[in-house]
Amino acid sequence: MTTQAASSELHPPGTYSSWSAYLQRLWACREYMFHVPRHELRAQNMNTVLGNLWHLLNPILGIAIYYLVFGVLLEVTKGVDNFIGFLAVGVFVFRYTQKSTMAGAKSLIQNEGLMRSISFPRAMVPITAVVTEAMAFVPGVFVFLAVALLTGEPLRLTWLAVIPLFAAQFVFNVGLGLVAARANHSYRDVENLLPFLFRLLFYGSGVIFSVYAYLEHEALRWLFILNPVFDYLALYRWAVLGMDILWAEAVAAAVWTLVMLLGGIVWFRRGEAGYGG
């Protein structure tokens, strides 16, 4: 590639003439967005004895603790036949969205040097962070499927639904990551607030208990259905454990995914010129 041709592809951030030009440039960066996460995952925990097994051990240890506290001591198992499988799906799926959002929030701050040096669509940075967490989540899918089998669940055709669910949740997480990235770039306090918000969301999404077994009022149930994390948990548990699903939960998850992606990319791009400045 000649110098003239290379320079013609460079754009100051925020100056793309159209959405199509922006998305084309973003698509052109796809190799980077899948190459960097592979190296990032290899580098994480490399100084520990168990290395990247900690990506699985952390949620597995969490499942063991939640089972001991809530399943054995508090007996919060009402409405759930397979509580260990219920916990396994809930913890892994919840952590996927939590870690994706947290990684997206930190991504612009951590890559300010790169953004000052090279011109590229800044959305590439949080999307790459979310791709990293998606790759880390894949082994977790096999873990909660194995837990389902070991706890007596039969093989189901609905297990195939995990694949589109994984893809849909990835799209949802990308939108969340873009929103969190811009918010944290503008207000650094966001990064410190997110762990507390996710802790509240953890207990408010039915990760460790069956919501419908404890809520009798229809209005309160709809409050949970309007929570996209709760909807994704319900969909995964239907696919893996054969639990009941409401059409409203599937519709809500689809609507939230579309709104979060479109809203996230539009809002993120509006602040493009200020990233890395």
Q: What is the pLDDT of residues 155-211, one digit of tens each?
A: 999 999 999 999 999 999 999 999 999 999 989 899 999 999 999 999 889 999 988
What the block records as the tokens of 204 is: 């408010």
> How confident is the model at residue 192, as a pLDDT?
93
Q: What pLDDT is stored for residue 13 in this prediction? A: 53
Say what the pTM is: 0.88
CA separation for the pair 86, 262 (Å, rounded): 31
Radius of gyration of the CA atoms of the chain, in A: 20
Q: Residue 4 has what pLDDT? A: 38
Three-state DSSP at 52 gives helix
Distance, in Å, from the CA atom of 69 to the CA atom of 57, rounded to the nearest integer, reads: 18
**Residue ranges for the chain with pLDDT beneath 70:** 1-17, 44-52, 276-277
pLDDT of the residue at 165? 98
Q: What is the pLDDT of residue 48?
A: 56
CA-CA distance, 204 to 233, in Å (whole number)? 12
By the 8 A CB rule, do 76 and 209 touch? yes
